[in-house]
Amino acid sequence: MAARILVTGATGNIGRAVVQELADRGVEFRVFTRDANKASALGVEAFEGDFGEAGSLAAAVRGVDAIFLNSSQHPEMARLQGNVSAAAAGAGVRHIVKVSGGTSVTGEDKASWAGRAHRQIERTIEDAGIGYTFLRPAYFMQNLLALAEPIRAGKLPVPLPDQRIAVVDARDVGAAAAAILVSPEEHRGRTYDLTGPESLSFVDIAERLSAVLGQDVQHVAPPIDAAVESLRAKGAPDWLQQHLAEIMEIFAQDPSVAVVTDSVEQITGRPPRTLEAFLADHATEFGVERVS
């Protein structure tokens, strides 16, 4: 039986893909979740708790060789993910695969509080002396699902008029993470920028949406302030509003977000999904019949 692996964030977009890939490989693993009932649908051993509970973390990491570390954005994520690193070090875990932000965002001197937090977590893992691999994915194709309502109405509202971005399917990030968890020594000490097969502007993305969904979709680029105000009107907390503003400013100004890498294929042995494939898989969520 393969080494035991702990998957955090198992019910998220990336985490679900990690779980599926590990299950397909017949690998022994467990998940750590706030809701064991929700995780039970995954059909695997589940430990219930959160990153702020030392006792539940200690139980979850006991006997584990490798950890997939991911969580949603949160102002306390550096501390909380740091708790996982500390528990892992204490339990003799040999490798952590951590999902950070893209390299344009992640770093001590970046203009993103989330990116600075991700780099702080990376440093904590490095300082703990645990083997590591850091994954830095580009803009997720899954972000389009949050815009399904306006897309169904024919508009793609993203405040980026011209910038091209090497969008990536979260399922490919999960596949890369699973491959590394199974053979961590091959990837020890590496940082991978993960992208899809091409860089696209949001005009390009609107055109692809139009073709796949069979309806006209136009990109509209509201000012970043207007996008933040829309988020505020929906009751989003201040830190999430700040996150959106900072990320959009970085994407608008840093041409490196358009750089395409071959890391997904290098790690998994298969090319990353195209945007067309993603849209076909999720056509019903945009209000049309599934595309064959």
Mean pLDDT of the chain: 93
Which two tokens mark 280?
Answer: 């076909």
3: pLDDT strictly greater than 70: no
**Does the reported pTM lie above 0.85?**
yes
Predicted confidence (pLDDT) per residue in 143-164, tens digit: 999 999 999 999 999 999 999 9
Q: Which residues of 29-60 are buried (b: 16+ CB within 10 A; e: fewer)?
A: bbbbbeeeeebeebebebbbbebeeeebbebb
For the chain, list the domains and their CATH numbers. Answer: 5-138+169-195+259-272 (3.40.50.720)
Mean pLDDT of 197-202: 98
